[in-house]
Amino acid sequence: MHLTPTEFDLLLCLAGEPGTVLTRERLLAEVWGWPGASGTRTVDSHVKALRAKIGADRVRTVHGVGYALETGAGR
């Protein structure tokens, strides 16, 4: 599967702590290098693209908080 460099970095960040909800702010800081950024939908649009490639059920949304990579354990 082909991932853009940003999608790859986003997946790598989420995979570093599987099952743990990472805030949009943390993802913006770690993936994009934008510490202190908020109010942007950049993360949301990249998560949407990533879901289309790896499967929608692999990235869980916690509304108002952030995203977590689901490992499949217990499914």
Q: What is the pLDDT of residues 2-56, one digit of tens each?
A: 999 999 999 999 999 999 999 999 999 999 998 877 767 899 999 999 999 999 9
pLDDT for the residue numbered 29: 94
Q: Is residue 39 part of a domain?
A: yes
Q: Is residue 75 part of a domain?
A: no
**pLDDT of 75 over the 70 cut:** no
pLDDT for the residue numbered 73: 60
pLDDT for the residue numbered 72: 75
**pLDDT of 74 over the 80 cut:** no
List the domain range (segments joined by +) for residue 63: 5-69
Q: What is the 3-state secondary structure (H, E, C) of the chain?
A: CCCCHHHHHHHHHHHCCCCCCEEHHHHHHHHHCCCCCCCCCHHHHHHHHHHHHHCHHHEEEECCCEEEECCCCCC
Q: Is residue 60 part of a domain?
A: yes
